[in-house]
Amino acid sequence: MKLAVPYAFPKSRGAHLAFALLAVYVVYAAAQMGVSWERVGAGIDHGSRFLGRMFPPNFTRSELLWKGLAESMQIAVLASALGIVLALPFGLLGARNLMPAWISWPARLVVVLARSFHPVVVAIVFVKAVGFGALAGILALTVASIGFIGKLFTEAIEEVSIKQVEAIRATGAPFASVLAFGVLPQVFARFIGFATYQLDSNLRNSTMVGIVGAGGIGGTLFAAFQRFDYDFVSAILISLIALIMAGELFATAVRRIFIDNATLSELFRPGTRAASAPRLEDD
Amino acid sequence: MTDALTIRSLSKEYVAGKPVLQGIDVTVAATGITTIIGPSGTGKSTLIRCINQLVEPTAGQILFEGRDLARVRGVELRHARRQIGMVFQEYNLVERLTVMENLLCGRLGYVSPMRAWRRKFPPEDIARAQSLLATVGLAGFANQRADALSGGQRQRVGIARAVMQQPRLLLADEPTSSLDPKTSVEIMQLLADVARSHRIPVLINMHDVALARRFADRILGMSGGRIVFDGAPDRLSDEILRQIYGGEDWLH
């Protein structure tokens, strides 16, 4: 008599087959694209010459560099501020646990539209609409911020504990007060997390919208690439890394102030940082 | 003694054709503790929640302070709710707010939203909150966050929040079901003190028959969406308990 072998998980022939097909397709696609070992070798050769021309970085055109960086930063900060202010009402109106369907659907539609396109595509549209320059960049990143924060804020509100809201409602509080005391405290920490993340994201994207003429360091970077000024390119890239890192430190400080109620002196005391570091947006 | 609350043929159907409450008729006197006992799913919570319209009644009347609570809407509903304090099984404190902020939530019906957003509460409310904290044994806890408290402490805050409303009626939906036996007695004692010192009727849902007997002036027994017993605790015999809960193994 043959004993059946007990097993805890259902055997999946389908999954094995799918993996095999994927492997075959990877090999096929590589052959199709002409990616051969010779091509990889030539690419590495080219890359090393490119890297060689990037060093040492050339910071002599510091005025142009600084102007571009400052403009990128301003685009990012203005777009974040404007985006957050506009995303809050849309995020709130989109929450289905607080709003009737005839309000939440239009609000969600606005947020979905704002998120439909990559910021660069939106930037191209605004460059065509309002002309070259920082204004187009600000508008493009504002739209992106509404899409991102609006969606996450709606989701955060839909996840609040309705028991706490119910208790505030039962005291006879008007709706605005229910929001202030029953809903906002539950989503505030997460909201600060979204906002600082969006600022970080806008800083990175603000360096890119310049490529399509919407202001900021991106235009300078693109021009340097086209003129083969690779030493200036590397100077710009190093400055961008510094800018993003500074933004990261700023975001951490903001989170510590709003979420951990840290005082200014605590912010600059190195030992206290580690304690709250793993805490990203929620505890 | 006058009646504070009159409920007439109250019914509630969450799903049409499947009534949870089937024509409840009851009056509650202006003072004293009334407890409602009965098996799970028999509509005790629904009955309590219909009174402040956390659940909307399907039919019937709930007369309180000259209003029909089953019908009020909008501002009138909010004004009615201000008069009714509520204590919850899971305390329902706003976890991320401090104890003081949770207490002041009890005043939100009286403070304009503009002032509420800016946390501008009248000084007398803050003073009252502080003295209430001392009364419920939580002096010095004002600036603790609610999520740092134990279950018993949270329920004390929950009761204090309800009392902050200076309610004309206090509802409690299984206030002791999440607590240990000793804390449960302390919480019931606190509710009894509130009922006496504020001279208001308190309506409590509970599962613990012994505790209900010990603290209630009057017991309502519910079964199948109807009130099947209404009387003083000493009239609650084993025979009646069998009728309310069914079976008898659990009695001994």
For chain B, 252 residues long, give each residue's pLDDT as a single digit of tens: 577 899 999 999 999 888 899 999 999 998 899 999 999 888 999 999 999 999 999 999 999 988 899 999 999 999 999 999 999 999 999 999 999 999 999 999 999 999 999 999 999 999 999 999 999 999 999 999 999 999 999 999 999 999 999 999 999 999 999 999 999 999 999 999 999 999 999 999 998 999 999 999 999 999 989 999 999 999 988 889 988 888 777 766
Query: Distance between CA B221 and CA B236 in Å, rounded?
Result: 9
Is B1-83+169-189+199-252 assigned to CATH 3.40.50.300?
A: yes
Distance from CA of B148 to the nearest CA of A (A): 13
The DSSP output letter for A2 is: P
Residues of chain A contacting residue B95, judged by C-beta atoms under 8 Å apart: 161, 164, 185-186
Residues of B near A (Cβ–Cβ under 8 Å) read: 52, 54, 77-86, 88, 90, 92-97, 101, 105-109, 111, 113, 116-117, 158, 161, 165
Query: How many angstroms separate the CA atoms of B47 and B24, rounded?
Result: 9
Domain annotation covers residue A49: no
HEC letters along chain B = CCEEEEEEEEEEEEECCEEEEEEEEEEEECCEEEEEECCCCCCHHHHHHHHCCCCCCCEEEEEECCEECCCCCHHHHHHHHHCEEEECCCCCCCCCCEHHHHHHHHHCCCCCHHHHHCCCCCHHHHHHHHHHHHHCCCCCCCCCEHHHCCHHHHHHHHHHHHHHCCCCEEEEECCCCCCCHHHHHHHHHHHHHHHHHHCCEEEEECCCHHHHHHHCCEEEEEECCEEEEEECHHHCCHHHHHHHHCCCHHHC
Closest chain A residue to B73, measured at CA: A172
A170-to-A167, B77, B105, B165, B210 alpha-carbon distances in Å: 5, 10, 10, 10, 29
Number of domains in chain A: 1
Put simply, whether A187 touches B (Cβ < 8 Å) is no
Dist. CA B165–CA B79, nearest whole Å: 11
Helix (H) or strand (E) holding A89: helix A62-93
**Has residue A22 been placed in a domain?**
no
Considering only residues A30 and A80, tell me which one the structure prediction assigns the higher pLDDT. Answer: A80
Nearest CA in chain A to B171: A170
Structure tokens at B47: 């009955």
Q: Find the domain containing A106 and state its range.
A: 62-276
Mutate to test the interface with A, among B108, B169, B173, B174 (most CBs of A within 10 A): B108
A263 near B CB under 8 A: no
What CATH number is associated with residue A155?
Answer: 1.10.3720.10
Classify residue A271: in a domain, yes or no.
yes
pLDDT for position B4: 87
CB atoms within 10 A of CB B218: 19
pLDDT of residue A278: 43
Q: Is residue A90 part of a domain?
A: yes
Domain with CATH 3.40.50.300 in chain B: 1-83+169-189+199-252
Q: Is residue A67 part of a domain?
A: yes
Conformational region of residue A174, where left means phi above 0, alpha means psi within -120 to 50, and beta covers everything else: beta
User: Is-contact B150 B66, C-beta < 8 A?
Assistant: no
Eight-state DSSP code of residue A212: G
pLDDT of residue A1: 58
Residue A42 lies in a domain: no
